[in-house]
Amino acid sequence: MIDKFLKLIKSLVFRIHVLKGVCLILFLVVVFRLYAIQVTYSADYQAYIDRTSTIELQKNVPRGVIYDRNMDVLVDNEAVSTITYQRYSDVSESEMKEIASQLADLIDVDFTKLTSRDLKDLYLEKFEDEAKELYTKEEAKTLEDKELYQLQLSRITDKMLEQLTDHDKETHAIYINMKKGTNLTSNIIKKGATEDEVAIVSEHLEEMPGVNTEVDWDRTYPSVAEWHPIYGRVSTYEQGLPATLSSYYKAHDYQSNDRVGLSQLELYYEPLLRGYKSQYVLTNENETSNYDAIYEGQRGYELVLTIDAELQAAVNQIVKEELINAKKNSSTTQYLREAYIVMTNPNTGEILAMTGNIIEWDEEAKDYKIIDNSLGTFQNSFTVGSVVKGASLLTGFKYGDSWPGKTITDTKMYFKGGLIKGSWKNLGGVDDIAALKFSSNVYFFQQTISMGGSSYSPYMTLNLDLDAFEKYRSTFNEFGLGVNTGIDLPNESTGLIESQRTPGKLLDFAIGQADLYTPMQLVQYASTIATSGKRFAPTLVKEVYLPSNDDVSGKQLVKGFTPNLLNVVELDQTYFNRVHQGFVAALQQSGGTGYSVFAKAKYNPAGKTGTAEEYARDEEGKYIKDANGELIDVNNRTLIAYAPADNPEVAISVVVPQCELPSQSHPISLQIGERAMQAYFDLKKERANIQNNTVETDELTVPADEQVSADDSN
């Protein structure tokens, strides 16, 4: 028997059958194992894979710091302790709710932002039995689930909601935040967590997968100029990406809850300020999460603005004081509401300061309050009056209808049909320089009639070639009036073109009573006059640096902005010289329209004043009428200026809309302009003195290795 068995197992056929059997058994084992993995325990293995996989994550970094031209910090970041939740696809809603409940035991969360709908949903979840009693059996049979749900919501009363505890509400608020964003997105649960909250949450991190403690940031404005509208705003975590630009940002690797610039510089320079997110590898194994940094990230690039923070603060205060003083101490300023000023370097276009303020009566405080409207310097346009006469004169020179030394007699002008035109008074004989000094309207009316193909005679029919509009506007455009200035900010206004094309309106155009211009356009025009025809784009960003904590000498320059010369006004220097002389006379010579305020200025100013006739409007832009139903006449006051006249380094424009009644003038535009100019030169002198004292101190300091004691010197 045994011999037969031994003989059998030695046979080749038997061995082949045994091998087949073994193979079949092994094959069945593999099949059953695969079936168990892919079918029976598929979900468990998938969860295990998810938890033991390696995932690349990104985390936000602080935005770039913004400095003024002297490297004083304008916009910075303040660290804020934050508790976050990293959402994973394999975590169920019940698990998330359990984590939310645990967190609610550890931290205080503001639940006041929960909506009525949020609270009602929470009630339906917490009180299922009571929720079923909110509809009848008949309603349950006839209504669909969505309809029943809406019916339940409508029948939940405020008294029912009182059954929800604060813990319930905190848990729900946390849960809602946990669900924001997509998978693997870091969602903020609480911003501004206390040290105790951070500590206790850190102790329980292993019990709450996905929860972490991090440091977020908030924008701060530590300079003397404080917050300025040109900086713009950054979205909150709750706001995330603006809906209108969401697709664009997501295509550039943004997450839906990322914080981005919403306006002005924060928006315009978003690609530079955002920085580069830090990148981590997250390894999940045995319910333990390990973070390994593969790129530490880089905070946003640092911007250096052209703004002078100290000058900006001084100008802010000047405008505020002048507005309040004018409202409190003058009877002619009852319709005064706002004032604007822009200061630039005319040789580069660098904006040194820009301010716009609105003054309103605060009924509660029983005093005036100031509202910042600095964006109005380039977004709001006004009738500016005689400040444009420099450009008007140069237009006349260009087309040969005026010339250096041309003299006319300034007296009332009478036209057929009863139209009367004139200056603010009969000035008598005036040449081109005197026309600017005394602000003669008649000089420019007669020039315009010549440009229109005629010459003035009393009671003439005013029949002019209206192509003169294009002659004026094309020249004005070369100075920046009526066109984009090129400023590096969004939403700039180009002003408003007068739609009427009549001979009378053509005369008005020459004295600034037709088209509307912004204060930014005016300062570009003033700068172009100051430089004898060089028109530079106004700019706010001077330099871009790599982020670092070094002082300016140790920072690495990424980009330095060179002056952007937009165009050169090709006119003879003799023509510009005549305008310069007229502008100097207007501010420095007795009888000049700005002499009363600028007479004692030591910085050699040149400029042109303006008065524009308007009808009073309220804060909504609606016309105001008197007791008889008549529109109320008011004047805008304007000023352009630069200094020193022989070598300009600063240019300004001032616009104060409806600041006075025609019966009584007010010098507020001159006072703002002169005080701002004085502040500029005072700061310059003060800094020069500090620099000189520093140099003298350095020269007197004896190097340490050369110092000897009193004993050694004997």
C-alpha dihedral (327, 332, 334, 339), degrees to nearest 10 = -60
DSSP state, residue 59: E
Longest dimension (CA), the chain: 150
Question: Catalytic annotation on 386?
Answer: yes
As beta bridge partners, residue 295 has: 279
Asked if 659 and 667 touch (Cβ cutoff 8 Å), the reply is: no
What does the CA dihedral 347, 350, 353, 357 come to, rounded to 10 degrees? Answer: 100
Nearest to 525 by CA among 676, 655, 400, 656: 655
DSSP letter, residue 445? H
Measured between alpha carbons, how far is 148 from 132 in angstroms, rounded to an integer?
A: 10
Tokens, residue 192: 């501004």
Alpha helices in 36-70 (DSSP H): 42-52
The β-bridge partners of 641 are 607, 652
Q: Are 464 and 506 a contacting pair, CB within 8 Å?
A: yes
Half-sphere exposure of 344 (CA within 13 A, CB side): 34
The DSSP string of 568-596 is: E----HHHHHHHHHHHHHHHHSTT-TTHH
Distance CA 331, CA 321 (A): 17
3-state secondary structure of 405: coil
Tell me how many degrees the CA angle 266-270-274 measures, rounded to the nearest 5. Answer: 105
One-letter amino acid for residue 553 of the chain: S
The distance from CA 176 to its chain's CA centroid, rounded to whole angstroms, is 31
How many whole angstroms separate alpha carbon 445 and alpha carbon 465?
Answer: 14
Cβ distance 413 to 442 under 8 Å? yes
- Residue of 186, 223, 386, 392 marked catalytic: 386
| Among candidate residues 267, 477, 274, 263, the one with its CA nearest the CA of residue 374 | 263
User: Are 404 and 471 contacting, i.e. CB atoms less than 8 angstroms apart?
Assistant: no
**54-59 and 278-285 strand pairing:** antiparallel
Question: Count of alpha carbons within 13 Å of 90, Cβ hemisphere only?
Answer: 15
Can you tell me the distance from the alpha carbon of 200 to that of 177, in angstroms, rounded to the nearest whole number? 20
Q: What is the CA radius of gyration of the chain?
A: 38
Q: Which residues contact 168 (CB under 8 A, 6 or more apart)?
A: 122, 126
Distance, in Å, from the CA atom of 533 to the CA atom of 424, rounded to the nearest integer, reads 30
Pairwise CA distance, residues 612 & 637, whole Å: 7
DSSP line for 250-269: HHTT--TT---B-SHHHHHT
| 618: Cβ contacts below 8 Å, ≥ 6 apart | 624
Q: Say which amino acid occupies 586.
A: A
Task: Give the residue from 373, 329, 343 showing the smallest Cα distance to 675.
Answer: 343
Residue 452, CA distances (Å) to 81, 507, 602, 609 in order: 70, 10, 42, 26
Helix (H, G, I), strand (E, B) or coil at 475: helix
- Catalytic site residues? 386
